[in-house]
Structure 1
Amino acid sequence: MSDHINTALVIGGGVAGPVTAMALQQAGIEATVYEAYDGTAEGVGAALGLAPNGLAALDAIGAGDLVRGLGDPMKSIVLQSWNGRQLAEIGNPGTLEPTRLVMRSDLYQALYGEACARGIRIEHGKRLVGVQEGRDAVTAQFADGTTATGELLVGADGIRSTVRNLIDPAAPQPRYAGLQGFGSVSTLAGAVPDTGGKMFMTFGKRAFFGLQVVGGNAVWFVNLPHPEPLTPAEAVAYGAERWLKVLAEACAEDRTPALELIRHTDPAELLITGPMENMPLLPHWSRGRMVLVGDSAHAPSSSSGQGASLAIESSVELARCARDLPLDEALARYEALRRPRVERIIKHTERTNSNKAAGPVGRVLRDALMPIGMKLMNPEKFSAHLHHRIDWAAPAA
């Protein structure tokens, strides 16, 4: 496996898949994307934050400006207690552009369309079920009986990755963070005051609530502590109408707009995003001619605000390494560049999730200590992860 590669199979057509294919194409490697679902994912998913580091990674493949026009800037995050007391305000350093709040569906459509415009083939209805590895190539086997062969197979197939299990059948599974996710976009004119480009996040008595008013619409989410993990399908099966009642009860005592927004949400408009999960540290990111990117390798929970940005970074960095190094060296270099960074962010996110699910005693301690801790913290150190840049022109070696 000492040769440079010319062709790649990208498994998964979400956010990381098209970005990986575009980055590989820019590196001179022909890539085809294979998506398990028959159709596209328009309208699927809630809002997410695309951080400055993620936008910079898209700039490396000429797609940053495409995404900047999609969302609204998030000038800062204001942390509050249940009674409206401000605990902290976290803003991007003045040297960085703001994080952008975008709907996942909008981001997906933009990246999908750009990949197609660049001549990248995306095939649907291709659910991976197995692989055959050879000395010079790897063949993907799909549930419909078809196959595809390339010199590299990239798993961009999300937190429940099939490729991850093929690389390492003993790989750990996603770890539940103790929270279920919900959200919606309310068009209630004047129902809540304008947030001035800020995201307000509230540690409620029984749930965590986030809100930003964008274009007159209230984009909101709730992280609800739940003792047992529910799969996305189980959470949906419980029913949006029943969940809205649960959410209203959980937010009833908090001095936020949550209760009013929940009460005026049509059940058909409630986004049930399912369990919030992290990926435990994986012993192996690659094997032979197979490698992982994005959530399949390093999914932080949504509390990080970095899931999409880290996935985009890894896609670009993998392509840079594959451009400059023989395959075995490229995969080792890619992991060495990415693993310390993503594991550090995942570890920080686990602490954030603990704060969201704090009990009565933990809540009091958190609300008392957080303002002190934030005042003592060096703002530049706190935002250091946002400054990360990939120098596409620099040799990966």
Structure 2
Amino acid sequence: MAAPAPHTSGRAHMQVLVIGGGIAGTAAALALHAAGAEVTVHEAHPDAAEDIGAFLTLASNGMRALARLDASAAVTALGFPLHSMRVLDATGAVLADVALGEADDPLLRYRCLHRAELATALQAEAVRRGIHVRHGARLDSFEETPDDITAHFTDGSTATGDLLVGADGLHSAVRRHIAPDVRPRYAGQRVFYGYADDAAAAGANGGDSERITMVRGSAAAFGHAVSPDGLSYWFARVAGEPLTADETGQVSASRLRELLLPLLRRDDTPAADIVAATKERVMVTDATELPVGTRWRSGRALTIGDAAHAASPATGQGASLALEDAVVLADCLRDTPDIARALSCYESLRRPRVEENITVSGNISRGTPPPSAPSPSSS
């Protein structure tokens, strides 16, 4: 698949300020650069974007977006592919074993990888293409005129461009100015992540490589995938109250295992053994989301990715949809010479899809029966 075509409108030298150097922001920079814009990425953190060490799965639609960005090689060098998904019930019985996405196309196969590694690889690709990535630039505010938009950073510096793209995540500073009353809300589940060093000893079949196993447990939803070197990547989603202040601090791996294991041991599945075999790398976070209908733009400022449409991780589509955002935004700005019209086009194309994902994913996290309409396609 080709990257976005070179910019052919009257805005061949449009200057874009991207706020946030994570997955959404760096992908947007790659797409906009390919479409002919001059792009600078302003990242608040001094190095790579902050990350809790969790992993993610890119679905076929996310991998297709990477192909459009001509960035497949940078990402397929990371992690490992997933060809199929097996679903178990609480007794360990197999409910389904199906191919994942477009497994026949090497570029479009699902891929399991660390979130931080993905962001770092995209940043490196952006720098390789001549895109300036400025670290340690934390946005304070921005102001617009009829002709441009100026970002003010906490270190006293400024930057001016034609468009400001807020890709600064769940606690977006850009969104705070566009939609000041909107706050992320708890989506009903705690999400645990971990890595078991010896997958076989932990009860994960060595034949599980390149397959993700999902467990519909009686007290927790669990999933794990085994890397080619035998490391079991796992997550568990558990309903309950949001994390307390103590639990969001530096809680030990042993304490997190103690919270999770009694729930997993109710079932006859490999889940409890995999978690028990995880010695150090265990993390927990709240599943959060933004309300549907959240305002995305104001004049020359626009939010994308989690800054605009964060959803609970139940559908596993967050990163893939952020990559789609980047491609669609670049297409709209390339094909529509007026920024206001281009952003309106972008929103009309993206809002139905991403807000359906918020709703479907939130329903899964809260245990709400699914609606009759189908969920967003993962391919």
TM-score, normalised to structure 1, is 0.84
Measured in 2, the distance between the counterparts of 1:149 and 1:279 equals: 29
1:348-394, Cα deviation, whole Å (9 max, x unpaired): 21232234xx8xxxxxxx9xxx9xx9xxx9xxx9687234xxxxxxx
Could you say what the CA RMSD is over the residues aligned between the two structures, in angstroms? 2.6
Structure 1 partner of 2:6: none
Measured in 2, the distance between the counterparts of 1:55 and 1:228 equals: 32
Structure 1 partner of 2:115: 104
Q: Secondary structure at the match of 1:386?
A: coil
The yes-or-no answer on 1:281 pairing with 2:315 is no
**Equivalent residue for 1:32, pick from 40, 48, 62:** 40
CA deviation after TM superposition for structure 1 residue 296, in Å = 0.8
The yes-or-no answer on 1:17 pairing with 2:31 is no
Measured in 2, the distance between the counterparts of 1:342 and 1:135 equals: 30
Q: 1:3 to 1:291 in 2, by over 3 A?
A: farther
Q: 1:315 to 1:181 in 2, by over 3 A?
A: same
Structure 2 partner of 1:390: none
Structure 1 partner of 2:63: 55
TM-score, normalised to structure 2, is 0.88
For structure 1, the residue ranges without an aligned partner over 5 or more in a row are: 359-365, 388-397
Q: Secondary structure at the match of 2:140?
A: strand
Residue correspondence of structure 1 range 148-227 to structure 2 within 5 A: 148-170=159-181, 172-188=182-198, 190-191=200-201, 192-194=204-206, 195-215=208-228, 216-227=230-241
Measured in 2, the distance between the counterparts of 1:382 and 1:197 equals: 27
Structure 2 partner of 1:348: 360
- Counterpart amino acid of residue 338 in structure 1: R
CA deviation after TM superposition for structure 1 residue 18, in Å = 1.0
Measured in 2, the distance between the counterparts of 1:40 and 1:227 equals: 31
CA deviation after TM superposition for structure 1 residue 42, in Å = 8.3
Measured in 1, the distance between the counterparts of 2:39 and 2:323 equals: 16
The yes-or-no answer on 1:65 pairing with 2:79 is no
CA deviation after TM superposition for structure 1 residue 48, in Å = 0.8
Measured in 1, the distance between the counterparts of 2:218 and 2:375 equals: 28
Q: Secondary structure at the match of 1:236?
A: coil
1:44-83, Cα deviation, whole Å (9 max, x unpaired): 5312111111111111121123212323222222222221
Residue correspondence of structure 1 range 343-382 to structure 2 within 5 A: 343-355=355-367
For structure 2, the residue ranges without an aligned partner over 5 or more in a row are: 1-8
**Equivalent residue for 1:135, pick from 129, 142, 146:** 146
Higher alpha-carbon deviation: 325-334 or 39-48: 39-48
Measured in 2, the distance between the counterparts of 1:162 and 1:79 equals: 39
Measured in 2, the distance between the counterparts of 1:174 and 1:163 equals: 14
- Counterpart amino acid of residue 350 in structure 1: G
Q: Secondary structure at the match of 1:54?
A: helix
**Alpha-carbon contact 2:19-2:166 (below 8 Å) kept:** yes
Instruction: Give 1 or 2: higher helix fraction.
Output: 1
**Alpha-carbon contact 2:198-2:231 (below 8 Å) kept:** yes
Structure 2 partner of 1:339: 351
**Alpha-carbon contact 1:155-1:163 (below 8 Å) kept:** yes
Q: 1:286 to 1:264 in 2, by over 3 A?
A: same
Q: 1:42 to 1:69 in 2, by over 3 A?
A: farther
Q: Secondary structure at the match of 2:22?
A: coil
